[in-house]
Amino acid sequence: MKVAVVGATGVVGTVMLNLLEKRKFPVTEIIPVASERSIGNKIKFHGKEYSIVSLTDAVEMKPDIALFSAGGSASLEWAPKFAEKGTRVVDNSSAWRMDSSKKLIVSEVNSESLTEHDYIIANPNCSTMQMLVVLAPLHRKFKIKRLVISTYQSVSGTGKNAIDQLYSERNSSNPEKVYPYSIDQNLLPHCDVFEEGGYTKEENKLINETRKILNDNSIQITSTAVRVPIEICHGESVNIEFENDFKLEEVFSILRSSPGLIVEDEPDNNIYPMPINASNRDEVFVGRIRRDFSIKSGLNLWIVADNLRKGAATNTIQIAEKLIEMNLV
């Protein structure tokens, strides 16, 4: 299978290439694509060197699948050009997520909805992604009425320059600042740009993408997204109000039997999800599972996942694997 990785030299693109190897994806030819300044440079895949090519050349090579992680503007311009050649595109940017004609897919939640007509498929925002792996099976059973979401997001969600800023500040050098303030020894309640109503773009993504993936616009959602000074993994405190009451034992049972999830919840033994353990893992970790006694059918959860893996590269590749399983490529 001929596979293009668009944004191959970026933080997520590099992880995609590693995972394609690790997961033994059936690649017969890899097509690494990056910005104009990288064309002609080499990357290694399965021990062989491949030259980075331009988007124009990659389109003409007619890959079976193109995995995009190159930003929204590149996806808006180039994903349709690949699709016109018969290439299935899985896009990791925000470009197509809220397009009503495009599927927004979390592999464990709604990948069965893919059809032969889906040539551009959107990957959700990383923080939405990990949360929905946990919430979807609970929503199916108890129906979510309201969500209060607080995220604790690592700097890799912003990109390589943000990682460089964090470590430069720790080494007391003078970095180029991606954030308006220092991130080391600090917390920034500011993920992405501020939009109308005082919410950031990241906070609005959590609201809008959750409703689309669960196919339920009736869910009331509010969110606060905070950038924290760690390199990898996002944490989320999620407060849920259900329409229907539940037994806590049933919640544990549902989560333990759901794909892609690991329950870590032994407070007496200090066992709960942490970034230090979730890093470089493909699963979503959930713990601190407890009732919210302030409302009738309330539940609190703490969710952690590697934002570069399940939050981006892993889910992208899982979607591609599903396309193969469904004989759509």
The CATH T-level fold of domain 2-124+312-325 is Rossmann fold (3.40.50)
Q: What is the pLDDT of residue 109?
A: 97
What the block records as the tokens of 49 is 């060197």
Which tokens sit at 18?
Answer: 């590693």
Which pLDDT value is given to residue 157? 94
Catalytic residue annotation: 126, 234
Q: What does the domain layout of the chain look like in residue ranges? A: 2-124+312-325, 127-307
What does the CA dihedral 80, 15, 37, 62 come to, rounded to 10 degrees? -40
Return the pLDDT at 306: 98
Q: What does pTM read for this prediction?
A: 0.95
Residues of the chain with pLDDT under 50: none
- What is the reported pLDDT for 63? 98
pLDDT digits (tens, 9 = 90+) for 137-162: 999 999 999 999 999 999 999 999 99
pLDDT for 36 equals 87
Quote the CA–CA distance of 153 and 291 in Å, as a whole number.
24
Rounded CA-CA distance 51/40 in Å is 5
Q: Are 182 and 101 in contact (CB under 8 A)?
A: no
Going by C-alpha positions, the residue among 151, 133, 127 that lies closest to residue 238 is 151
pLDDT for the residue numbered 239: 98
Architecture of the 127-307 domain: 2-Layer Sandwich (3.30)
The residues pairing with 31 across neighbouring beta strands, listed in sequence order, are: 4
Q: Contacts from 23-26 at CB under 8 Å and sequence distance 24+? A: 23/317, 23/321, 25/1, 25/317, 25/320, 25/321, 26/1, 26/324
pLDDT of residue 82: 98
Residue 244: the pLDDT is 97
Tens-digit pLDDT profile for residues 244-272: 999 999 999 999 999 999 999 999 999 99
